[in-house]
């Protein structure tokens, strides 16, 4: 069982070489809180996430980002998701970091995945306590996926 919690923070966006035909992502920058997003557990938005000793994060664009915390039962992940439509030739961009308030031997982990309409994993970011160290964090990391085929992504 985890003594503390891990958190994963993400900011999503989409760019396209062509004019976008549909609103591809609702509230991608979390400026309206979690509107448009589905959560299976503790998640919220903020403009700063800090640990006075090891890390301090601010939004990569706009004024907010989402925080997902793992305070559920052991092995039960907290999720935050949205299905959106992108036109062919779009690039899906997502900024994420992993920050932990935990220490080994409690090897909490977090991940951000992008799935296509067939539920195939097309891009992923992940980290854990063993990778970042006790109470550590990754830097903001940009996950990028070129959608050669337009359609629904989650």
pTM over 0.85: no
Is 14 buried (19+), middle (13-18) or exposed (0-12) by CB count in 10 A?
buried
Phi, psi angles (nearest 5°) of residue 107: -90, 65
| DSSP assignment string, 88-109 | TTEEEEEEEEEEES--TT---E
The model's pLDDT over 99-145, given as tens digits with 9 standing for 90+, comes to 988 899 988 888 899 999 999 999 999 999 999 999 999 999 999 99
Phi, psi angles (nearest 5°) of residue 62: 70, -155
What residues form DSSP beta bridges with 111?
126
The model's pLDDT over 78-110, given as tens digits with 9 standing for 90+, comes to 889 999 999 999 999 889 999 988 899 988 888
Tokens of 34: 């979690």
């Amino acid at each position: 069982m985890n003594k503390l919690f891990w958190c994963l923070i993400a900011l999503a966006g989409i760019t396209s070489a062509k004019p976008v035909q549909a609103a591809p992502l609702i509230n991608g920058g979390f400026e309206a809180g979690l509107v448009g997003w589905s959560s299976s557990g503790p998640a919220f938005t903020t403009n700063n996430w800090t640990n006075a000793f090891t890390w301090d994060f601010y939004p990569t664009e706009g004024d907010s980002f989402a925080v997902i915390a793992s305070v559920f039962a052991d092995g039960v992940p907290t999720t935050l998701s949205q299905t959106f439509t992108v036109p062919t030739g779009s690039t899906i961009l997502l900024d994420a970091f992993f920050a932990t308030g935990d220490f080994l031997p409690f090897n909490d982990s977090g991940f951000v995945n992008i799935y296509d309409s067939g539920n195939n994993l097309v891009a992923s970011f992940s980290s854990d306590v063993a990778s970042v160290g006790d109470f550590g964090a990754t830097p903001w990391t940009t996950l990028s996926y070129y959608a050669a085929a337009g359609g629904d992504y989650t």
